Chains A and B, each alone.
Chain A
Amino acid sequence: MRDRLSRALPLLCVLAILIAVWFAGSVAMNWDQAQDLADEDATWSDIAQATLALDRPLLPTPDQVASEMIRSMFGYPPTSPRSLVFHAGVTAWAAIVGFGIALLAGMALAIGIVHVRTLDRALMPWLIASQAVPVLAIAPMVVVVLGNVGLTGVLPKALIAGWLSFFPVTTGLVKGLRSSDPMQRDLMRTYSATEAQVFVKLRWPAAMSFLFPSMKVAAPLALVGAIVAELPTGAQAGLGARLLTGSYYGQTPQIWAALFMAAFLAMLAVALVDLTQALAAYARGGRL
């Protein structure tokens, strides 16, 4: 209990400070706008109060964002395009499909790289170099090109999400599949185990402790990919579309609500990976 308190207390203090700074920032940043809208004889405190309740504030207050989130999440049925849950679902679905693609492609590639020397030598340097390339920049082009050949909907977005999240999976798995102890590999050879058996019984289990951390990196990346992929199409649906329309019409609370929703989805994704890891560990008798 004491331990938990000593961990939570600093966190709560920092959060309280952040919220206080946020309120102060709202007053400071919205001051000019509130002053323009106020009457001639408005006092300082009138203007200060007005800064916290503007329609299109430069910086909405935490409670404005919270009420916008509640209104857009629960005020409409989840299938309505005005509901934030609907947009979050669209983005999450693209991210999930993309993450699935990334997992499959990453596994196939990692297995190839670990077992085929030519692939290792020829491909691995490019994989590492590709980390330094701003992949997200190609998102608009991919969406436009695929839309041009009639591919619309979830697939172009999922491809970008997958492309972005597949590098951590591949590099993590390559490391993991090679992480098994050489002694144990020798032992497998003395058992005259085939390459497939070594893979299933030794390499793959050993790779698990590398796979889950890289999945934790990859899952939020898939989300970023899905959101950015929603920008160039003029995007009818999704969190990226909410960001874009919010910025076109100056609906700042809507932008902030979409941002917090995206943050929440990212946390959810990481929590789901954690849960899968715990389940995998449980299925294996408690150790990964």
Chain B
Amino acid sequence: MTTLLLLGSLLTGGVVLALLARNDRPAFRIATPIVFGLLVLWLWQIVCTGYEVPLVLLPPPATIAAAVVNHLPTLAADFRQTFLRAVIPGWAIGSSAGLLAAIALDASPFLRRGVLPLGSLVSAMPIVGIAPIMVMWFGFDWQSKAAVVVVMTFFPMLINAAAGLGQTGAMEGDLMSTYAAGYGQTLLKLRLPFALPFVFNALKLNATLALIGAIVAEFFGTPIVGMGFRISTQAARLNLDVVWAEIVMAALAGSISFALLALLERVVTFWHPSYH
């Protein structure tokens, strides 16, 4: 019975998707991935309930949704601890420090040649590994998580912003000199706006990195609240519905911040050729 339902859903879903994908209108372009996502959820649900997959292996989506609703106070507390206290301050501090460092480096070619290769080296390294050190330095609470996030977000911003500040052409620079613009004015009116797409690129990248950093840092010790703490302890107790509920929260937080940043980028860099 389940097998029949499964095959039927697969077939109908496949046909509907193929039909949707043939159409090029914007509404269809949005509908196709949504239908695909719903199909995956539906298949997941009938496989889990139909074949009686043990809950400790993979809870069905309906159970996860119920867990989100039932554990809402816990989830909210964890979200406050991890996202509002660690991720956002860490992300803001790390990103702005990276940007300021890039501007400072920009003034000195000697420093730039010395720091940038090291910076790109460091940004390719497994920086989350500093989490135990930060926990040792800043204690179990959110400060150590924010510190990990600061370090993780600093280097991508440094590299990207440095690349962005190098984007200005000689023509625009010459034009600024004919206006008798000083260093500060050129920086503010020409070079920083030119660097904005790169800065936003780093901000978006850092949004994900910050969440990862804060959650992983919590695996090394926390007060008894936080998304990473909940995930690791509840996974060990095999309460997988709670774990999945936390993951849903983390995914939502990650994609919503990403979307907000993308929106802000569009508003701030409306003049950029990629939007025309």
Q: Which residues of A contact B (CB under 8 A)?
A: 6-7, 9-15, 29, 58, 117-118, 120-126, 129, 131-138, 140-141, 144-145, 148-149, 216, 220, 223-224, 227-228, 231-232, 239, 243-244, 246-247, 250, 252, 255-256, 258-259, 262-263, 266-267, 270
* Other A-B pairs, 18, CB within 8 Å; known A145-B235, A247-B221: A14-B114, A15-B114, A122-B35, A131-B208, A132-B204, A132-B259, A133-B250, A134-B208, A140-B231, A140-B243, A141-B244, A145-B58, A220-B125, A244-B132, A252-B133, A263-B125, A263-B126, A270-B124
Within 8 A of A (CB), among B242-258: 243-244, 246-247, 250-251, 254-255, 257-258
Q: Is the CB of B57 within 8 A of A13?
A: no
Chain A residues within an 8 Å CB radius of B118: 11, 14-15
Q: Is the CB of A121 within 8 A of B251?
A: no
What are 19 A-B residue pairs whose CB atoms fall within 8 Å in the complex?
A13-B110, A58-B137, A120-B21, A125-B33, A126-B33, A126-B36, A129-B255, A132-B259, A133-B255, A134-B250, A136-B128, A137-B212, A141-B235, A220-B126, A228-B216, A246-B132, A247-B135, A255-B133, A259-B133
Complex-state Cα separation, A29 to B138, whole angstroms: 12
Complex-state Cα separation, A245 to B137, whole angstroms: 16
Q: Tell me whether B171 is interfacial, beta carbon within 8 Å.
A: no
Partner of B132, one of A10, A133, A134, A255: A255
Partner of B126, one of A14, A232, A262: A262
Q: Is the CB of A122 within 8 A of B227?
A: no
Complex-state Cα separation, A53 to B68, whole angstroms: 51
Q: Is the CB of B231 within 8 A of A132?
A: no
5 nearest A-B residue pairs (beta carbon): A10-B114, A247-B132, A14-B114, A132-B258, A122-B36
Q: Is the CB of A137 within 8 A of B228?
A: yes
Q: Is the CB of B121 within 8 A of A148?
A: no
Within 8 A of A (CB), among B15-72: 17-18, 20-22, 29, 32-33, 35-37, 56-58
Q: Is the CB of B33 within 8 A of A122?
A: yes
Q: Is the CB of B126 within 8 A of A266?
A: yes
Q: Which residues of B contact A (CB under 8 A)?
A: 14, 17-18, 20-22, 29, 32-33, 35-37, 56-58, 110-115, 117-118, 121, 124-126, 128-133, 135-137, 204, 207-208, 211-212, 215-216, 219-221, 227-228, 231-232, 235-236, 238, 240, 243-244, 246-247, 250-251, 254-255, 257-259
Q: Is the CB of A136 within 8 A of B254?
A: no
User: Quick one: closest A residue to B237, CB to CB?
Assistant: A144
Complex-state Cα separation, A41 to B18, whole angstroms: 83
Known: A122-B21, A227-B128. A11 touches B212 (CB 8 A): no
User: Quick one: closest A residue to B109, CB to CB?
Assistant: A10
Chain B residues within an 8 Å CB radius of A223: 126
Complex-state Cα separation, A64 to B32, whole angstroms: 58
Complex-state Cα separation, A223 to B127, whole angstroms: 11
Chain B residues within an 8 Å CB radius of A148: 56-57, 238
Partner of A136, one of B22, B212, B246: B212
Q: Is the CB of B129 within 8 A of A140?
A: no
Chain B residues within an 8 Å CB radius of A7: 113
User: Quick one: closest A residue to B24, CB to CB?
Assistant: A121
- The smallest beta-carbon distance between B237 and chain A, in angstroms, is 9
Q: Is the CB of B255 within 8 A of A262?
A: no
Chain B residues within an 8 Å CB radius of A216: 124
Q: Is the CB of A10 within 8 A of B56?
A: no
Complex-state Cα separation, A224 to B112, whole angstroms: 28
Chain A residues within an 8 Å CB radius of B18: 118
Q: Is the CB of B207 within 8 A of A144?
A: no
- The smallest beta-carbon distance between A194 and chain B, in angstroms, is 22
Name the residue among B20, B29, B118, B235 with the largest chain A CB count within 10 angstroms.
Answer: B235
